[in-house]
Amino acid sequence: MYSVFVTRRIPDDGLELLRKHSRVHVNPCDRSLTKEEIIEGVRDKDGLLCLLNDTIDREVIESAPKLRVIANYAVGYNNIDVKTASEKGVMVTNTPDVLTDTTAEMAWALLFAVARRVVESDRYTRDGRFTGWDPMLMLGVDVTGKTLGVIGAGRIGTAFALKSRGFNMKVLYTDQHVNAVLEKELHAEKAELQDLLEDADFVSIHVPLLDDTYHLIGENELRRMKKNAILINTSRGAVVDEKALIKALKEKWITGAGLDVYEHEPHVPDELKKLDNVVLTPHIASATFETRRKMAVIAAENLIAGLNGTRPPNCVNPEVYTKKVK
Ligand SMILES: NC(=O)c1ccc[n+]([C@@H]2O[C@H](COP(=O)([O-])OP(=O)(O)OC[C@H]3O[C@@H](n4cnc5c(N)ncnc54)[C@H](O)[C@@H]3O)[C@@H](O)[C@H]2O)c1
């Protein structure tokens, strides 16, 4: 039987599936593991099921000579040194599709929360400051009929844009590829990033964190946005230059932001926490009971397939097949 290491407890559906096919060692602590603990856990294992906040770098991969599959419990896999994994013949897998609508819904939740000042209003009401209807109280901005800018029109960006149908919006998107679905369904227009930033009232980011998307949105980009614009980020924190964003929010170059992800998670800068024009959530865009269960099953299926010598459904480094797979 194969032996696998799971870096943090995931929903039972996934663990039960894994247990039918392998000896499963789950991190017994209710916390993320340090790199040293991950190395200790994976040292003699054939498979690793890890989270997006586990750094699986060369040192970790080289510490596990038997390792054949790394199954990430996420669609993004910027936490894994895929190049080294491929070099070593180790398959890397992710969990796409099942979290697409869930993540897109969260982007909308943040968009509305910022546009209509939902969190600020909640605090205001709880604090007992609501003393009667006021014509000027908590004015926000309308969503219907405005221009939506989608940066990265892949699975989640597309689902996010399609959900704008009820709000009769003009949709702009950036991507390396033409998105035929968005162009047909919404008459969306593919734009240059700078043009999208200048035109959109709401900008939502859905690109993966790659070398060329690191700080894709920095001071120059924020300065190009409309004064009444709102920025939503549910992708990865480092796609946005957080220091520049704080400056933009403080100095009101833009109206507000909704953030689920941060540049140095779990650290959230105090300066950001002090601002009223930003809504902050703790990286929960895929966090629904249904989706987390599906992610657990898919991650387990990927791991089992790889260990059994078949191609995992969601292998992100197919180049591994041109190498000698262990
Ligand atoms: N906050 C969360 O909990 C959460 C949940 C799910 C996914 N995510 C993040 O969302 C990302 C997107 O997921 P997905 O399933 O839609 O991925 P995807 O691969 O389907 O889509 C990404 C799109 O971005 C495009 N792209 C890449 N570089 C670009 C660039 N420089 N400019 C414009 N477009 C570019 C790609 O062509 C692709 O169409 C993931 O990589 C992950 O980091 C976060």
Q: Which ligand 1 atom is at minimum distance from the Cα of 236?
A: 43
Q: What is the mean pLDDT of the chain?
A: 97
- Known active-site residue 236: yes
Ligand 1 within 6 A of 242 CB? Answer: no
Which pLDDT band holds residue 322 (cuts at 50, 70, 90)? Answer: confident
In the chain, what percentage of residues exceed pLDDT 90? 98
Burial class (CB in 10 A: 0-12, 13-18, 19+), 103: buried
Contact by Cβ (8 Å): 246, 269: yes
pTM (2 decimals)? 0.97
Query: Is 324's pLDDT higher than 80?
Result: no
Q: Is the CB of 237 inside a 6 Å radius of any atom of ligand 1? A: no
User: Is 191 near ligand 1, meaning CB less than 6 Å away?
Assistant: no
Could you tell me the pLDDT band of residue 325, with boundaries at 50, 70 and 90? low
Distance 314 CA to ligand 1 centre (A): 15
Please name the residue that has the structure tokens 């960006």. 157
Report the residue among 207, 216, 261 best suited for mutation to probe ligand 1: largest number of ligand atoms under 8 A from its CB: 207
pLDDT at 321: 86
E-state strands within the chain: 2-6, 22-26, 47-50, 69-72, 91-93, 147-151, 170-174, 189-190, 202-205, 230-233, 256-259, 278-280
Is 215 annotated in the active site?
Answer: no
Q: What single-letter amino acid sits at 260?
A: D
C-beta atoms surrounding 298 within 10 Å: 25
Helix axes 100-115, 155-162, angle to 10 degrees: 50
Q: Count Cβ atoms within 10 A of the Cβ of residue 122 and give its class: 0-12 exposed, 13-18 middle, 19 or more buried.
A: exposed
What does the pLDDT look like over 8-53, one tens digit per residue? 999 999 999 999 999 999 999 989 999 999 999 999 999 999 999 9
Q: Which residues pair with 50 in a beta bridge?
A: 72
pLDDT at 156: 99
**122 contacts: CB under 8 Å, gap ≥ 6:** none
Q: What percent of the chain shows pLDDT beyond 70?
A: 99
- What top-level class would CATH report for the domain 2-96+289-325? alpha beta
Question: What pLDDT score was predicted for residue 293?
Answer: 98
Output the six-digit token pair for 87: 């070099």
Annotated active-site residue in 68, 224, 283, 292 = 283
CATH topology of domain 100-280: Rossmann fold (3.40.50)
- Determine the residue type at 129: R
Packing angle of the helix pair 118-126, 100-115 (nearest 10 deg): 60
Each residue of 162-203: pLDDT tens digit? 999 999 999 999 999 999 999 999 999 999 999 999 999 999
Tell me the CA distances in angstroms from 30 to 33, 207, 225, 286, one per residue in order.
9, 30, 41, 19
Cα–Cα distance for residue pair 122/223, rounded to 1 Å: 30
- Map tokens 């870096």 to a residue: 7
In angstroms, rounded to a whole number, what is the distance separating the alpha carbons of residues 4 and 48? 6
Rg of the chain (C-alpha set): 21
Task: Decide: residue 29, CB within 10 A, 0-12 exposed, 13-18 middle, 19+ buried.
Answer: exposed
Domain boundaries, the chain: 2-96+289-325, 100-280
**Helix or strand (DSSP H, E) at 108:** helix 100-115
